[in-house]
Amino acid sequence: MPEFTIRECTTLEDYAACIDLQRVVWQFDNLDITPLRSFVSARRNGGFTLGAFDKTGKLSGFAHALAAFDEKLMPYYYSNMLAVEPALQNAGIGIKLKLAQREHALKRGVSLMTWTFDPLQSRNAYLNIGKLAGVVRKYFVNYYGNQSTSALHRGLDTDRLFVEWWVNSVHVIDILSGKSRSERAEAALEVPRNIEVIKKRDIEEARHWQLKLRAGFQACLGEGLYCAGFEADPGGGNGRYLFFKNQIL
Ligand SMILES: CC(C)(COP(=O)(O)OP(=O)(O)OC[C@H]1O[C@@H](n2cnc3c(N)ncnc32)[C@H](O)[C@@H]1OP(=O)(O)O)[C@@H](O)C(=O)NCCC(=O)NCCS
């Protein structure tokens, strides 16, 4: 794994590098780029951006979080972007950035961090639920509408899972320390290993996966189950979301 340092982004140069990375990772048009002034105002109002910098000081990845309140006015962080330079993906930078976000939250006494991700993205599911122990109790249909200019969002509705990461919970501490959940899963939903390949091959097949997952999540969450596990196939096959009855937070 390449050597890199994680530190908070604080300068205009740091934020400009985050903007460049957004273009590379999501291939957004200007309209969809989070601009420099949003990074500045997020930091001045309780949010924070962490960057992974290589030995030369170049930004290789970043995680951007906003200060937020839930409906009972409990403060939490909303992490609305995590990105790693394509050539350096799958080398552990993403998980290191998330763990650094957790440390930041723990130091400030913030117990919850949330974010959303596309349920069709198996890698994100494995990272967010399988490795970090985020849990999902909400499914949003076409969250951002169909206007996104990102290459990653093209051709499908922007359905999203809402992840809750209770950073100091038994579930998170257990999974991060390598323990697995002993309770048997009540239900499982399959997700394709690589939706991008399917999208390129046949967009109707990708839509079929989206509708199947949407219906499956709605049914499981509707029955009061919650998603608290993800099983990746070490052989490179499809992964599975796992649903449980008892909510250990
Ligand atoms: C999502 C992202 C931030 C993760 O960062 P990363 O540095 O690539 O992630 P990591 O290397 O820490 O972890 C990825 C894990 O998923 C595994 N993985 C890779 N492809 C996978 C797949 N198709 N299905 C399941 N797991 C997969 C990797 O092997 C790795 O696990 P391991 O460490 O146990 O081997 C990065 O890939 C990215 O920028 N993606 C595009 C933008 C995006 O989707 N951002 C997040 C939503 S806002």
pLDDT in tens, 236-246: 999 999 999 98
- What would the two tokens of residue 185 be? 């899963």
Higher pLDDT, 247 or 158: 158
Question: How far does the centroid of ligand 1 lie from the alpha carbon of residue 152, in Å?
Answer: 14
Write out the residue limits of the CATH 3.40.630.30 domain(s) in the chain.
1-110
Phi then psi dihedrals of residue 127, to 5 deg: -65, -50
- This prediction has a pTM of 0.96
Whether 163 has a pLDDT exceeding 80, the answer reads yes
Pocket probe mutation, ligand 1, options 26, 126, 129, 150, max atoms within 8 Å of Cβ = 126
Pocket (CB within 6 angstroms of ligand 1) = 25, 81-84, 89-95, 117, 121-124, 126-127, 193-194, 232, 239
Phi then psi dihedrals of residue 244, to 5 deg: -130, 160
Ligand 1 atom at minimum distance from 96 CA: 12
Instruction: Provide the edge-to-edge strand list for the sheet that holds 59-69.
Output: 4-8, 48-54, 59-69, 75-84, 112-117, 160-166, 135-140, 226-231, 239-244, 187-191
Question: How far does the centroid of ligand 1 lie from the alpha carbon of residue 240, in Å?
Answer: 16
Whether 140 has a pLDDT exceeding 90, the answer reads yes
> For ligand 1, atom 19, which residue shows the shortest CA distance?
123
Q: What average pLDDT does this structure show over 165-186?
A: 94
Q: What average pLDDT does this structure show over 196-211?
A: 95
Question: How far does the centroid of ligand 1 lie from the alpha carbon of residue 73, in Å?
Answer: 32
| pLDDT category of residue 1 using cuts at 50, 70 and 90 | low
What is the CATH number that goes with domain 1-110? 3.40.630.30
